[in-house]
Amino acid sequence: MSTAGGRPAERPVWVLNGPNLGRLGRRQPEIYGTTTFAELAELCRGWGEALGLAVVVEQTNHEGVLLDRLNQAADEQVPVVLNAGAWTHYSYALYDACAQLEAPLVEVHLSDPAQRPEVFRHTSVITPHAAHVVAGLGVEGYRRALEHLAG
């Protein structure tokens, strides 16, 4: 499939981010790095373009908003890269929303939750529904997730 200009059509991918990720670069940079959310969004769009993906990047601190976007992704069969932040570890509403996705879901974490000292971080309600998980690679993990979806 190509556009009128002969370029391949870009496939949509949504990069959805949960609570506190809008504070990247300012929030615990020793854990999450110094890249800001705006910089991350720009990187994702650029990586996506190079891979033939039309990347939309969003962040919310409101669980219902994220659930609405996942429901929409299910309805439209849009692949999703998801960093749900703290909701990863306990939101059964998120578990249910991810279960209905038909297009691939890639779970991303900037740090590696399995290596974090807080035991609650060692459980993910997303992983059972993910085609792939990328953890502990910082912002590079988003590039790897997009590559997985493009492949």
The four Cα atoms 87, 78, 81, 130 give a dihedral, to 10 degrees, of 70
| 17 has binding-site annotation | no
96 annotated as belonging to a binding site for a ligand: yes
The annotation status of 45 as a binding-site residue, yes or no, is no
Catalytic annotation, residues:
32, 109
Rounded to whole angstroms, how far apart are CA atoms 97 and 124? 14
**Known binder of ligand: residue 75?**
no
Q: Where are the alpha helices (DSSP H) in the chain?
A: 29-32, 37-51, 63-76, 92-99, 140-150
CB atoms within 10 A of CB 138: 15
CA distances from 67 to 15, 82, 142 (A): 13, 12, 20
Contact 131, 148 (CB under 8 A): yes
The verdict on whether residue 71 carries a ligand-binding annotation is: no
Annotated binding site: 83, 89, 96, 110-111, 121
Annotated binding site for substrate: 83, 89, 96, 110-111, 121
